[in-house]
């Protein structure tokens, strides 16, 4: 078994979807997931893995669509660097079959140009995968670090710093 410190990071993207009022989309994670050990911090922004051969921007658009059904979005900005976090070692062996120590994420901000009725987190786009969220809402960007599972908080603080000019 590979020591935790030697495991690679899973390449991933994150999406800050900002509405006309400067608020951001957050979804409440559906059910327990191995990497989410604290039910009190189940809210997060859309995120997911990058497929082989896929660019980070293409992955961000795909993940946004798969998790929210949103297509009416335009790119505002890209974070200047990749943000990484480690899973707690107690759950690292369960999440992603123990292949990764955490994730390294490229974050993008998109302006939501559609109507709220376009958002549907309960039925994934084109049946591509199971729904990841059971509810959603608009929230202040600055509130998101307190909503996320604590081991991801540092990443969310960097996301807030990177995109605060575009959202509240």
Query: Which range (1-10, 20-29, 40-49, 157-166) has the least confidence?
Result: 1-10
Q: In this predicted model, what pLDDT tens digit does every residue of 63-91 receive, in sequence order?
A: 999 999 999 999 999 999 999 999 887 77
Q: In this predicted model, what pLDDT tens digit does every residue of 90-141 receive, in sequence order?
A: 776 666 677 888 999 999 999 999 999 999 998 876 656 788 899 999 999 9
Res 128: pLDDT: 63
Instruction: Please state which CATH class domain 4-163 belongs to.
Output: alpha beta
Handedness of CA 16, 21, 23, 24 (dihedral sign): negative
pLDDT: which is higher, 153 or 30? 153
Distance CA 16, CA 110 (A): 6
Strand-pairing partners, residue 102, are 9, 86
Distance CA 90, CA 122 (A): 30
Res 148: pLDDT: 93
Q: What is the DSSP string of the chain?
A: ---GGGSPEEEEEEEEEE-TTS-EEEEEEPS-BTTB--GGG-EE--EEEPPTT--HHHHHHHHHHHHH----EEEEEE-SS-EEEEPPHHHHTTGGGG--SEEEEEEEEEEE-S-GGG--SSS-GGG-S---EEEEEEE-GGGHHHHS-GGGHHHHHHHHHHHTTT--
């Amino acid at each position: 078994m590979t020591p935790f410190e030697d495991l690679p990071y899973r390449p991933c993207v994150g999406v800050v979807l900002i509405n006309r009022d400067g608020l951001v989309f957050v979804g409440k994670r559906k059910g327990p997931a191995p990497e989410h050990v604290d039910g009190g911090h189940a809210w997060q922004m859309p995120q997911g893995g990058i497929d082989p051969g896929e660019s980070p921007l293409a992955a961000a658009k795909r993940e946004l669509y798969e998790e929210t059904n949103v297509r009416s979005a335009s790119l505002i900005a890209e974070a200047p660097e990749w943000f990484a976090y480690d899973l707690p070692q107690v759950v690292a062996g369960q999440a992603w079959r123990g292949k990764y120590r955490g994730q390294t994420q490229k974050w993008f901000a998109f302006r939501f140009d559609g109507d709220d009725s376009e958002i549907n987190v309960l039925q994934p786009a084109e049946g591509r995968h199971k729904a990841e969220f059971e509810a959603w809402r608009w929230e202040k960007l600055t509130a998101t670090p307190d909503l996320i599972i604590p081991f991801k908080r540092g990443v969310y603080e960097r996301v807030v710093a990177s995109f605060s000019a575009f959202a509240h």
